[in-house]
Structure 1
Amino acid sequence: MVLTPTLTLYVARSFLGATLAVVAALTGLVALFDFIELLRRAATRPDVGFDIPLEIAALRLPFVAMQILPFAILLGGIIAFWRLTRSSELIVARAAGVSAWGFLTGPLVVALLLGVVATAGISPLSSSLLARAERLDQTFLRTGGGLTSLAGGRLWLRQSDRELDPQGVAIIAGRPVATRPANLPRPGDAPRFELQEVSVWRLGGTDRPLARIEAPRARLSGGLWVLEDAVVFGTDRVTAPPRRIELPTELTPGRIEDSFASPETLGFWSLPGFIEVLEEAGFSAVRHRIQFQSLLANPVLALSMALLAAGFSMRQTRRGGVAQMIAGGIAAGFALFVVDKVSNEFGEAGSLPVVLAAWAPTLAGLLLALALLLHLEDG
């Protein structure tokens, strides 16, 4: 394989420019439709002005760009390679003895770096902004919603409780206190979380009942559940006078809220620790594990899309069928996207292991793209 630095950098620059242009165009188009939909929903709320839909749409921009990036790499690569082929630049390079693998090195490195930057750099930013956008949407534009509607009006939590037993657990049930628009936390404010009509079952390591607590209200603050006027029922069913009880916990208001929100509101670096705490608290972390594995697979997916773009667009124009080849590339990318979503659904349902659900479509696309290039170049 002959490597020519000047040609490699030239092709890589063309590929990067076309990809970034497609990312900007598609992100702007999706954001425009999203903003129009937000305006339509805001029209039914007389207390919501033009600024709220605009802020929500702007906060969603990095997340939209993250979702569009693989398809933008495919479409941008098709445009870049087709232009180079139409101008005969790639044909001349091949006639000079440079194979496709030689001048594809630059675009493949660029695609891989774009995937790494998206996962490690853009993901934390997009998740933070998306979480803020969802809170604004939930508060100002949606009717109802929140934890109460998601949990059927009563929230159940499970956490470790080593005060009475080294392997004990506590099961907490209550009705979440609704957050009013005026109470929307501002950046830097500590979130609040309260439950009403609270029941706490304290169990031993073998699920042996140790005590039950009933309280009209519980507040989560500073690593403690603070139960006011709580009544304790012991194993002998004798009640103690109402008093204030504090239960240590590893849960935080943010983690409880995030467990009911979409995993996309958590960044790549935050997901591993959150998954660990979520499972210790008795929640299912399957969706979050799939999201983490999908972020890990992003660079490989970007590489696969670049290879697909090369395989479907470097055919010489004198052979005809260029439009069919480009349409085939777009169709292949869309099919890969659909397979990825279907695989994730099977993973969330437990029908497929998490790693297989997240990585199988990406690896299958990579192998198919390599097979196509090998067929066109060496076959």
Structure 2
Amino acid sequence: MNLNFFPSRRMAFYMAKLFVTRSFAVLLALVLVLMTLDLLGESGKILRVPGNGEAELWRYVSLRVPMLIAQFLPFAALLGTLITFTTMNQNSEVVAMKAAGLSAHQILAPLVVASLGIAAVSFVFNERVVTKATRAVTAWDDNDYKPLPPDSGIISNVWLMAGDDLVKARQVIGRGRATRVQGLTIYDREGNRLLRVIDAARAAQTAGGWRLRDVQIYDTAMNMTLRRPEMLALEGVEPQRFTLAKVDPDERDFTDLRQAIAALEQGGRPTAEAEAGLWHKLAKPLSTVLMPLLAAIAGFGLARSGKVLLRATIGMALGFAYFVADNFAMALGNVGAYPPLLAAWAPFLLFLLIGETVLIRSEE
């Protein structure tokens, strides 16, 4: 067995260059098209708010582009590999490499190494940029694209139970004792019967509960709406109830998410979704490494056999099957049907074996 995966440095750089340039070209095209379609759908909502203009449109673009890059980078790597190998196969470059003594794994090795570098950059990019952009655009969207306070710790649309009462917080800002709520609604219930609906413009923690300001109370028994400048409510509800009621892995970096999981465990709350999201933060960037292996079937086999298109289709089908399996496993992990570790890593390991098997059976 020849374990020298890079017998020619020139050939390795050539293969890696083809893969990287084509993958990023596909990524650029995908992001441009999808961002245009997304902006066409959201621009009306953004401009409907008084005071919003061109600057807000560009802000939305700056927030959405990183999210699109993170989401479609593995797709771009898959298509980039297919384009690279299909072109090389049609030009008989793969035949020439094999005639020079290179095996399929030696041809594929530079692409795997390049995809490892892309995966590392993708992980850092997700942690530093994408999580902040996701948190900001989600809070902005939930606020109907109205101006938001300049605070990075905003959590939007939080629901929780306080006894029989159902509580909705439109925005939760800050942590610990400094937690404050914008747009609080309390559905005051007794059993299954709704007694009052309490709306407050803002709320802050105080001794004995939460102090609500600019309060509007709808009494269902009297069918009347009362207004008060302030009132005390939600006795015994700790700030952590709001900050931990909604733990979205896409909006938190790896360290922050680990701390949130520890807090959820300490409070006896379910952690399956957060733990699956934590492991998926590692598995998702590494999915880029799978794409050259799954799409490699397009590069092997004689072009004159007339099966280049069929091989490219098989490679594309394998890649998209991985994304379907990954989303399905994560959905099962989020509801607790799969263990979080299995939900995040099982599709990756399964398709790693499938890709290697297809490569060996078809070429080696």
TM score, norm. by length of structure 1: 0.72
- Deviation of residue 250 (structure 1)? 7.7
1:289 aligns with 2:278: no
- Structure 2 Cα separation of the partners of residues 276 and 65 of structure 1: 30
Report 1:5-84 matches (<5 A). 5-42=9-46, 45=49, 48-84=52-88
Q: Contact 2:167–2:185 at 8 Å: present in 1 too?
A: yes
Q: Contact 2:139–2:156 at 8 Å: present in 1 too?
A: no
- Structure 1 Cα separation of the partners of residues 161 and 241 of structure 2: 15
What is the DSSP-based 3-state SS (H/G/I as helix, E as strand, rest coil) of the residue aligned with 2:240?
coil
- Structure 1 Cα separation of the partners of residues 120 and 208 of structure 2: 40
Count of residues in Structure 1 that have an aligned counterpart in Structure 2: 319
- Structure 1 Cα separation of the partners of residues 134 and 145 of structure 2: 15
Distance 1:105 1:178, change over 3 A: closer
Distance 1:220 1:13, change over 3 A: farther
What is the DSSP-based 3-state SS (H/G/I as helix, E as strand, rest coil) of the residue aligned with 1:219?
strand
Give 1:251's aligned residue: 240
- Structure 1 Cα separation of the partners of residues 63 and 355 of structure 2: 35
Q: Contact 2:276–2:343 at 8 Å: present in 1 too?
A: yes
User: What letter corresponds to residue 318 of structure 1 in structure 2?
Assistant: R
Q: Contact 1:173–1:198 at 8 Å: present in 2 too?
A: yes
Q: Percent of counterpart pairs with the same letter?
A: 26
1:98 aligns with 2:98: no
Distance 1:198 1:150, change over 3 A: closer
Distance 1:220 1:78, change over 3 A: farther
User: What letter corresponds to residue 368 of structure 1 in structure 2?
Assistant: I
Q: Contact 1:198–1:218 at 8 Å: present in 2 too?
A: no
CA deviation string 1:137-171 (max 9, x = no partner): 111249xxx989663xxx337xxxxxxxxxxxxx8
What is the DSSP-based 3-state SS (H/G/I as helix, E as strand, rest coil) of the residue aligned with 2:363?
helix
Give 1:137's aligned residue: 141
Q: Contact 2:81–2:292 at 8 Å: present in 1 too?
A: yes
- Structure 2 Cα separation of the partners of residues 92 and 85 of structure 1: 10
Give 2:249's aligned residue: 263
Q: Contact 1:59–1:129 at 8 Å: present in 2 too?
A: yes
1:306 aligns with 2:292: yes
Give 1:233's aligned residue: none
Distance 1:130 1:197, change over 3 A: closer
Report 1:125-164 matches (<5 A). 125-141=129-145, 151=159, 155-156=160-161
- Deviation of residue 43 (structure 1)? 6.1
Q: RMSD of the TM alignment (CA)? A: 3.7
User: What letter corresponds to residue 219 of structure 1 in structure 2?
Assistant: A
Distance 1:44 1:84, change over 3 A: same
Q: Contact 1:311–1:373 at 8 Å: present in 2 too?
A: yes
User: What letter corresponds to residue 192 of structure 1 in structure 2?
Assistant: R
- Deviation of residue 175 (structure 1)? 3.7
Distance 1:197 1:130, change over 3 A: closer
Give 1:370's aligned residue: 356
What is the DSSP-based 3-state SS (H/G/I as helix, E as strand, rest coil) of the residue aligned with 1:77?
helix
Distance 1:193 1:41, change over 3 A: closer
- Structure 2 Cα separation of the partners of residues 334 and 363 of structure 1: 15
Selected match of 2:204 from 212, 215, 219: 219
- Structure 2 Cα separation of the partners of residues 148 and 308 of structure 1: 39
Distance 1:263 1:324, change over 3 A: same
- Structure 2 Cα separation of the partners of residues 251 and 25 of structure 1: 43
Q: Contact 1:148–1:176 at 8 Å: present in 2 too?
A: no
User: What letter corresponds to residue 23 of structure 1 in structure 2?
Assistant: L
Q: Contact 1:66–1:123 at 8 Å: present in 2 too?
A: no
Distance 1:91 1:67, change over 3 A: same
Distance 1:301 1:225, change over 3 A: farther
TM score, norm. by length of structure 2: 0.75
What is the DSSP-based 3-state SS (H/G/I as helix, E as strand, rest coil) of the residue aligned with 1:260?
coil
Structure 2 spans left out of the alignment, 5+ residues: 147-153, 189-199, 213-231
- Structure 2 Cα separation of the partners of residues 31 and 310 of structure 1: 30
Q: Contact 1:225–1:248 at 8 Å: present in 2 too?
A: no
- Deviation of residue 302 (structure 1)? 1.7
- Structure 2 Cα separation of the partners of residues 20 and 115 of structure 1: 13
- Deviation of residue 136 (structure 1)? 1.3
1:326 aligns with 2:312: yes
Selected match of 1:193 from 177, 181, 194: 181
Structure 1 spans left out of the alignment, 5+ residues: 158-170, 200-215, 230-242
Selected match of 2:93 from 89, 92, 95: 89
What is the DSSP-based 3-state SS (H/G/I as helix, E as strand, rest coil) of the residue aligned with 1:140?
coil
Give 1:108's aligned residue: 112
- Structure 1 Cα separation of the partners of residues 317 and 297 of structure 2: 13
CA deviation string 1:295-320 (max 9, x = no partner): 22134422211101112333331111
CA deviation string 1:168-199 (max 9, x = no partner): xxx897745655xxxx989xxx8633768799
